[in-house]
Structure 1
Amino acid sequence: MPAGDLSFLGFESAPSDTTVFPWREESGASTVDEPIPTTTVVAVRPWAAEVGLLVARLVLGGTALLGGARTLFDLPRGHGDGTVATQTLLSGLGFRPVAELTAALGWVQLVAGLLVMVGVFASFAASALLAIHLVAVVTSVGAAWSAGAVGPVEAPLFGLALAAVVVLAGPGRISGDADRPWYRAQTPVGLTCLLVGVATGLTVLIAMRA
């Protein structure tokens, strides 16, 4: 077809197809699209949130640490015989064997509380405290229902919530766990620890309570 017949399409003055198809301006150029550079965005919690996690850890771990010291060694003094009081409480709630459970409770509170406070294996340690507080919440529901008040279940529920926060959110950057492999995989670690804590608490309630 004569070139004049194509003038209305704009081809007449084009020396080659590079004018109409500018991506072919070099005969040796590759037609493969160039890779688009990407930027990795890393979400970082603000420092106010890190301080909040530190406060949650100190309250949760410090309370557990004092509870374990009182159960095992009657420390601080002035609260009576912690071991006998704990054994009486567990026996009244129907738990067996009382002596072994009292010793286990005291040592778990002591060790897990210390680990949570310093932020070392914090999610794992907090899962043990979550199990303890879950048992306390379940065993307190009956008394709260009978009294028509939240008093009996208030403290265990508060501890359960704090433990869940540390388990799921992790210890934060102000901790001994910062930049550890498990710290960088907090979501799977937190969910696993949550399941372990709940399963442990339910096992104690089902298998060790008459």
Structure 2
Amino acid sequence: MSLWRRDRAPAADGEVAFLGFEGAPSDTAVFPWREERGASTVDEPVPTTTVLAVRPWGTEVGLLVARVTLGVTAVLGGARTLFDLPRGHGDGTAHTQALLGGLGFAPPAELATALGWAQLVAGLLVALGMFASFAASALLAVALVAVVVTIPTAWASGTVGPAEAPLFGLALAAVVVFAGPGRISGDADRPWYRAQTPVGTTCAVIGVGTALTVLLAMRA
């Protein structure tokens, strides 16, 4: 690409001058970087690097699967805690209260209700991909608390059985928090979607902070 204007105008003495410059384009006094190399004055090509602007669609599908799995699992957990749905599962509000009380959390009734609504609302938002990283931070906090309180039981029994489900939820929540919901979501092309790194970091801090608050302030 030429670096000078092609517009020409006659100078006062009848010579041709380039507008905006004195001297011809090959004049090294005006264009010191244009040193003649043999008989050629062609600019050397500038090396370029191709940058992938978007993630492959396979990655987007993987994020969709992880996000929907996390959201649906959380919605089912919230529905069981609040409404004992689906029926016959035996994991209703009374069961959740007894479980929280047995683990040393107080007050168990209020915490069971808060847990159920957090799972239900955050799970629905995550499944739909709307404010997904923010909603997943709530599920990250729930899963982190569950992992911490089940580690002693898992350690004592020598198995990972008690901690399997919380670890699974923690991993999926971390994916949605840090990687975002993906392009196949309600958040696609939103301002917070285009700033996933600071948004994900902030949501992770919120989730971890919430979990620590619950563990330190609401557990005996």
TM-score class normalised by the smaller sequence: 0.7 to 0.9
- Residue pairs, 1:189-208, within 5 angstroms: 189-208=199-218
CA deviation map 1:176-209 (0-9, x unaligned): 0000000000011001111110111011000000
Tell me the equivalent position of 1:131. 141
Shift of 1:27: 8.3
CA distance, structure 1, for counterparts of residue 94 and residue 194 of structure 2: 43
- Taking a change above 3 Å as real, the CA distance of residues 40 and 181 of structure 1, as seen in their structure-2 partners, is farther
Report the CA distance between 1:44 and its aligned residue. Answer: 1.1
The corresponding residue for 1:25 is 26
Structure 2 unpaired stretches of 5+: 1-23, 35-42
Spell out the pairing of 1:17-166 with structure 2 (5 A cutoff).
25-26=26-27, 29=30, 31=32, 41-80=51-90, 82-166=92-176
Q: 1:27 to 1:174 in 2, by over 3 A?
A: closer
Return the letter of the residue paired with 2:108: V
What is the CA distance between 1:155 and its match in structure 2? 1.0
- CA 1:137–1:27 in 2, change beyond 3 Å: closer, same or farther? closer
Determine what percentage of the aligned residue pairs are the same residue. Answer: 73
Q: Paired residue for 2:197?
A: 187
Deviation at 1:160, TM superposition (A): 0.3
The two structures have a TM-score, normalised by structure 1, of 0.83
Report runs of 4+ in structure 1 exceeding 2 Å deviation.
23-34, 36-43
1:31: Cα distance to partner? 5.0
CA 1:118–1:24 in 2, change beyond 3 Å: closer, same or farther? closer
TM-score when normalising by structure 2: 0.79
Q: 1:84-135 CA deviation, whole Å, 9 max, x = no partner?
A: 0000000000000111101100000000000000000000000100000000
Q: Give structure 1 stretches of 5+ with no counterpart.
A: 1-22
Query: CA–CA distance in 2 between the matches of 1:24 and 1:174?
Result: 52
Supply the distance in 2 between the matched residues of 1:176 and 1:37 (Cα, whole angstroms): 39
Offset at 1:43?
A: 2.6
Note closer, same or farther for the CA distance 1:27–1:127 as it changes in structure 2 (3 Å cut).
closer
Distance 1:27 1:194, change over 3 A: closer
- In 1, Cα distance between the equivalents of 2:49 and 2:157? 58
Number of aligned positions between the proteins: 187
Higher helix residue share = 1
